[in-house]
Amino acid sequence: KLAQPGVNVVVSAGMASSPCGSGNFDCGLEIQTRSVEQTLIPLVSQITTLINHKDKLKKTEKTLRAIQRVGQAVSVAVGRFVAVGEAIAAENEDLKDEMGLACFEARRAGTAIAQLTDVSSLEQCEGDGRSTVFSDRTGMVKAARMLLSSVTKVLVLADCIVIKQIISSRNKVLVTLEQLERVSTFQEFVQIFSQFGNEMVEFAHLTGDRQNDLKDEKKRARMAAARAVLEKCTMMLLTASKTCLRHPDCESARINKEAVFQRMRLALEQVIEIVTDTRSSGEAKALPISIYAGIKDFKVKVEGLRDSLYCVSCEAVAAQLEALMEKTEDFTDSAYTSHEQRETIIQLCQITRQETKQLINTWRHAQSLKAKEATDEMELSILKTCQSVSDLRRELHRVAVGRATELLKLHSDHLVLQALKASGGDGNLEAVADYAGTLTEHKEQLVETCRLLCHISGTEPLEITCIHAEETFRVIGPQIISAAQTLALHPTSKIAKENLDVFCEAWESQLCDMAILLKEINDVFEGRRGALIKPFSHDINFLKTVKAAKLDAEEQTTIAKLGLELCLLTSDVDSEVERWDEQDHEMVRLCQIISSMAYSMYLFTRILILSETEKLSDACQQLQVCAKTPVQGKSAIFQKVMQYNSYRLFLYISEWSR
């Protein structure tokens, strides 16, 4: 953080991750994304270079050149950055005043820094009474604070435009979703679903970028889960709607379709809650406290007694332990927990209670003696209590992982799904009902296992993924059954068979995801690595469309960020090089070359990409016109389908090349 004038200033990269309203930032906005944070880091580094000069720094020609070069680089880069911000303000009326003010302050601060670092004729400046970085440290700190605050505000306001785009895209999807739900003919459905597909492509593109940019791991995990639901439900929506249109009087088909639409709406709402950091109810929904989190917090409090015997009360620690013991009932009350496992868990809980009781007794005795630190007896009790609760956690982990492993092996052959498909295809409603009961039992086993895995997962992102898996099994199980019932009522229906296949594939896919989740939980438990939230893959229907050559506000912001960062990093390298005594040092020379090349590449590709994008846009327009041309006859229809597939393939190749 920027310190008071006259004090050495240390500006860490981490300051950019703190809320803007805290410390010395005055913009009152919180940085939610990595891109904004990473853009600020080189600027913070440059300002640190300017402010952290020594009071009695030898004013050599080399030093003066370095300081002036950094100041000019900051001013020029901020000027270019602000120009883009002003262009964005002109295109967004609701942010115009606020963005304009932030740009004005940033430009003014950049100019002030350029003036203070203009030390080319230091003696003349001192004679004229003009301030420089050497004579007016207070002015430099003030300018630096204003620059950081205003640039941060410009970036965060620009980010608000991205949020607006996501909300607008979601609203379009919702409108089309309602239209799809009300269609009554195949022709109308095909027309609207084509529009829906394009809108989902745009939404997937925007939310995918947002997921990767979010700083908060929990939000990234929630976004990944919501996007996975939308991805899988799009195909389900297609087949469920077609089945309902083909068999309009079938109650099971209607139930199947309604469940898909409802789940998509919930996922869309969750995405908006994440990007806006709000809840529709107005209150944030906290994750249920897992056993792992409870044990971790309990151990922190117990071990904290070494530093202070009076930081928490004995009653609070005892109550926390009992709350923790209650949660273990999810394991001991389960019908799928073996007798031996249940007895072991109960025994470990009893040992933990005994050790904690002994700790509290020694703790109270130490307090009665007005002790200032833990006694030897109390230290031993702390170690025993922490060891007992760690043993409990290890056993719960073994039970949950063992259960999950067994279930994955049991369901690897998918015999129940195959039996449901066969019974439905035979029109055997009685057999479908029998296998539906078996699938329901499997679903309950998987749901409970996901709940146990959540308790011992080890990180909040993995907890969120476990909750998503639990909800997926809970929802897809009944959907498979309703799809099988529909097929049994209409055994010759190809659409009903296709619909059942899609839901069964979703079940199988979730089992594969559960196996990956299980491995990540084990990796965290064994300390091999942290959990990584992986972006979900998308098929050809989820690829973003090729953009026109004209840059929108988001793209302008991205280019401005890259330009600012590269320019400042280049200047940062140059200023650091000045500190080396040997100017002919090989490493120094290579660093200068690489820095210069990076910025030159940015300037070159900025022009080249625009040119190539313009060509790509023209080609896509030609393909679109060709694909939309009305035709009649089998041969012409076949040709149109081939052209349409070529268009989608072209977009697919463009996405990968991009």
Query: Looking at the domain assignment, is residue 1 inside a domain?
Result: no
Residue with tokens 């003009």: 130
Residue 285: its H or E element: none
Would you say residue 442 lies in a domain? no
What number is the average pLDDT over the span 236-251? 94
Q: What is the distance between the alpha carbons of residues 211 and 223, in angstroms, rounded to a whole number?
A: 6
Q: Looking at residue 7, what is its pLDDT?
A: 25
Would you state the structure tokens that stand for residue 164, as one six-digit string?
């607006």
User: What is the domain-level CATH number for residue 41?
Assistant: 1.20.120.230
Phi, psi of 284 (to 5 degrees): -70, 135
Q: What is the pLDDT of residues 353-363, one digit of tens each?
A: 999 999 999 98
Domain holding 393, by residue range, is: 291-399
The predicted structure's pLDDT at residue 604 = 52
Q: What is the mean pLDDT of the chain?
A: 78
Q: Is residue 16 very low, low, confident or very high in pLDDT (cuts 50, 70, 90)?
A: very low
Strand extents, DSSP E, 129-265: none
Q: Report the distance separating Cα 439 and Cα 420, nearest Å.
A: 9
The C-alpha atoms of residue 233 and residue 229 are separated, in whole angstroms, by 6
Q: Supply 364's token pair.
A: 């109270």
Domain membership flag for residue 542: no
- In this prediction, residue 533 carries a pLDDT of 42
DSSP state for residue 129 in the 8-state scheme: T
Identify the pLDDT of residue 541: 35
Give pLDDT tens digits for 50-89.
666 555 455 666 767 777 777 787 888 888 888 888 888 8
Listed ranges 17-21, 153-157, 316-320; the one with the highest mean pLDDT: 316-320
Residue with the bigger pLDDT between 55 and 616: it is 616
Judged by DSSP in three states, 268 sits in: helix
Domain assignment of residue 342, yes or no: yes
Question: Minimum mean pLDDT among 152-161, 228-237, 356-365, 467-476: which range?
Answer: 152-161
Give the total number of structural domains in the chain: 3
Asked whether the predicted pLDDT for residue 485 surpasses 70, the reply is yes
SS3 category, 307: coil
Sign for the pseudo-dihedral over CA of 79, 83, 88, 94: positive
Start-end of H helices in 535-658? 553-577, 586-628, 634-657
Write down which residue in 399, 433, 452 finishes a domain.
399
According to the per-residue pLDDT averaged within each range, which of 176-180, 285-289, 572-576 is highest?
A: 176-180
Give the per-residue pLDDT at 244. 94
Residue pLDDT, tens place only, 82-97: 888 888 888 888 888 8
CB 138 within 8 A of CB 5: yes
Q: Say whether pLDDT at 511 is over 50.
A: yes
CATH number for the domain harbouring residue 383 = 1.20.120.330
Is pLDDT of 654 > 60? no
pLDDT: is 45 or 557 the higher one?
45
Convert the pLDDT of each residue in 174-197 to its tens digit. 999 999 999 989 889 988 998 998
* Average pLDDT estimate for 580-592: 56
Q: Token pair of 419, please?
A: 């039996």
Q: Is residue 601 part of a domain?
A: yes
The answer on pLDDT for 18 being more than 90 is: no
Farthest-apart Cα atoms in the chain, separation: 101
Interval 608-634 mean pLDDT: 60
Is the Cα torsion angle 70, 71, 72, 78 positive or negative in sign?
positive
| Domain membership flag for residue 548 | no
Q: Is the pLDDT higher at 284 or at 279?
A: 279
Query: Last residue of a domain, which of 372, 399, 426?
Result: 399
| Phi, psi at 89, each rounded to 5° | -60, -40
214 three-state secondary structure: strand
pLDDT band at 476 (very low <50, low <70, confident <90, very high): very high
